[in-house]
Structure 1
């Protein structure tokens, strides 16, 4: 069922059930407008990213994913693409972590 169909079906159900004594019947267009305005997937995804979630990973899990990625890179277990896929981190971040580990190794040997 599409989002539009689900919303319309829910509003129709509320109207048929006469919930809130006709409120839904009188306010149908306002309700639909509010629902569509309130939920915008792109805006929702952007909010998650801005709130500290990256690619669906919450902050605590993100720290674990970074630690795991570093371990995989140190042990040379998989390509950066595979590590990104396995940890859920963006490939760009895996490449940056790889570069960071390389710099740390060079600094340690000098």
Structure 2
């Protein structure tokens, strides 16, 4: 469920259940605005990092970029965009793979 859907469902539930019904009807837009204003992206990202989700996603993006580089599929810019990594990081991965290839063939 998206954040928007969850917030709207919670407000609708409170209204249907007569939990301060008139207050919620009158203040709906203010409540929603306050909730969105209070949402802290940094705190959310920190929670995800602590759960290992962001790091896992980053590791997947790096692995995907390496696979695309190995298969010579796309330009560095296209790979960067496809896996949502900065171009500089994709360039560094390409250099790393080139060094590994040289080491293996020697």
Query: Into which bin does the TM-score normalised by the smaller protein fall?
Result: 0.5 to 0.7
Per-residue CA deviation, residues 24-78 of structure 1 (Å, 9 max, x unaligned), is xxxxxxxxxxxxxx88xxxx6x8889996xxxx9211000000000000000000
Aligned partner of 2:58 in structure 1 is 62
Aligned partner of 1:20 in structure 2 is none
The aligned runs of 1:38-77 (5 Å cut-off) are 58-77=54-73
The root-mean-square deviation of aligned C-alpha atoms, in Å, is 4.0
| 1:93 pairs with 2:93 | no
Q: CA deviation at 1:93?
A: 0.2
Q: Which has the higher helix share?
A: 2
Structure 1 residues 47 and 109: CA distance shift in structure 2, 3 A? farther
Q: Any runs of at least 4 consecutive aligned residues in structure 1 with deviations exceeding 6 A, and if so which?
A: 46-52
Q: CA deviation at 1:91?
A: 0.2
- Residue 102 of structure 1: which of 86, 98, 102 is its match? 98
Aligned partner of 1:35 in structure 2 is none
Aligned partner of 2:79 in structure 1 is 83
Give the paired residue count. Answer: 91
| Unmatched runs of 5 consecutive residues or more in structure 1 | 1-37
Per-residue CA deviation, residues 78-98 of structure 1 (Å, 9 max, x unaligned), is 001000000000000000000
The alignment's TM-score, normalised by the length of structure 1, stands at 0.51
